[in-house]
Amino acid sequence: QVTLRESGPALVKPTQTLTLTCTFSGFSLSTSGMCVSWIRQPPGKALEWLALIDWDDDKYYSTSLKTRLTISKDTSKNQVVLTMTNMDPVDTATYYCARMMVAAGSYNWFDPWGQGTLVTVSS
Amino acid sequence: EIVMTQSPATLSVSPGERATLSCRASQSVSSNLAWYQQKPGQAPRLLIYGASTRATGIPARFSGSGSGTEFTLTISSLQSEDFAVYYCQQYNNWPAYTFGQGTKLEIK
């Protein structure tokens, strides 16, 4: 059974750096084709893709946020870490991590997702 | 960026009836489209990928169709557990993944 769980601070101040950890089980990020992605959802709003890291340590970022994001993995711990710098109240959202499996060379859909962690940005 | 537009924003349907949700892409995404269901306080759950393939464990009452820029999610006979928000997502233009703004399916 594949599970993912996000962890990190519930509250950060504006201008601070957010660090979130996704701890997963049921698969290995050293297995060819495996990826983990981060997606966020502001309260009452739609989903926004943020970043992805694959088994080969290739990293992809949202164009609009790439200067603020860093994604990394620790295969031995089954963890993926996302950092986001210069946090602002508009970054208040539930942050999800999700698995992706590459198929036929295509980086495609997200399944399954973690339960999400709500991060509030406020002074 | 490919913009995904879902309609309607809210759909009111009675249990047992059919629900039809639409998703339009601003440019062709071929069949590279997924649908997710999200219930309050829960993470999204994958329903459909490849525009029409049901994910593992998804009931047959859920079906997807379309290609190019026009897509439809149909729920043939609504059950109480189906009332939720539904999102479409394109992955044709990866890694610039984009989601629709969602359709809320509510009980009439």
Give the tens place of pLDDT for each residue, A44-100: 899 999 999 999 999 999 999 999 999 999 999 999 999 999 999 999 999 999 999
d(CA B81, CA B100): 22
CB atoms within 10 A of CB A20: 22
End-to-end CA distance of chain B: 35
Confidence (pLDDT) at A104: 79
Backbone angles phi, psi at A104, to 5 degrees: 50, 40
For residue A110, which residues of chain B lie inside 8 Å, CB to CB? 34, 36, 44, 46, 89
d(CA A25, CA A4): 7
Q: Measured on CA atoms in the order B65, B70, B76, B82, is the torsion positive or negative? A: positive
State what percent of residues in chain A have pLDDT above 70: 100
Confidence (pLDDT) at A103: 83
Confidence (pLDDT) at B94: 87
Residue A107 has pLDDT above 90, yes or no: no
- Binned at pLDDT 50, 70 and 90, residue B14 comes out as very high
d(CA B4, CA B25): 5
Q: What is the pLDDT averaged over residues B65-93?
A: 96
- Binned at pLDDT 50, 70 and 90, residue A106 comes out as confident
Q: What is the pLDDT averaged over residues A3-29?
A: 98
* Contact yes or no for B102 and A46 at CB 8 A: yes
d(CA B3, CA B99): 8
Confidence (pLDDT) at A47: 94
State what percent of residues in chain B have pLDDT above 90: 94
- Contacts of B51-56 spanning 24+ positions with Cβ under 8 A: B55/A111
Q: What is the pLDDT averaged over residues A28-55?
A: 95
Name the token pair of B76. 């043939």
For residue B95, which residues of chain A lie inside 8 Å, CB to CB? 49, 52, 60-61, 107
d(CA B51, CA B33): 5
Is it true that the peptide bond before A9 is cis, omega within 30 degrees of 0? no
Contact A98, A82 (CB under 8 A): no
d(CA A53, CA A34): 9
* Contact yes or no for A47 and B99 at CB 8 A: yes
The DSSP symbol for A4 reads E
Confidence (pLDDT) at B81: 95
Q: How far is B92 from chain A (nearest CA, A)?
A: 8
For residue A106, which residues of chain B lie inside 8 Å, CB to CB? 32, 91, 94
Residue A32 has pLDDT above 90, yes or no: yes
d(CA B76, CA A122): 44
Confidence (pLDDT) at B65: 98
Q: What is the pLDDT averaged over residues B43-66?
A: 97
Confidence (pLDDT) at B1: 92
Contact A53, A69 (CB under 8 A): no
Confidence (pLDDT) at B97: 94
For residue B2, which residues of chain A lie inside 8 Å, CB to CB? none
Residue B18 has pLDDT above 90, yes or no: yes
- Binned at pLDDT 50, 70 and 90, residue B33 comes out as very high
Q: What residues of chain B have any CB closer than 8 angstroms to a CB in chain A?
A: 1, 32, 34, 36, 42-46, 49, 55, 87, 89, 91, 94-102
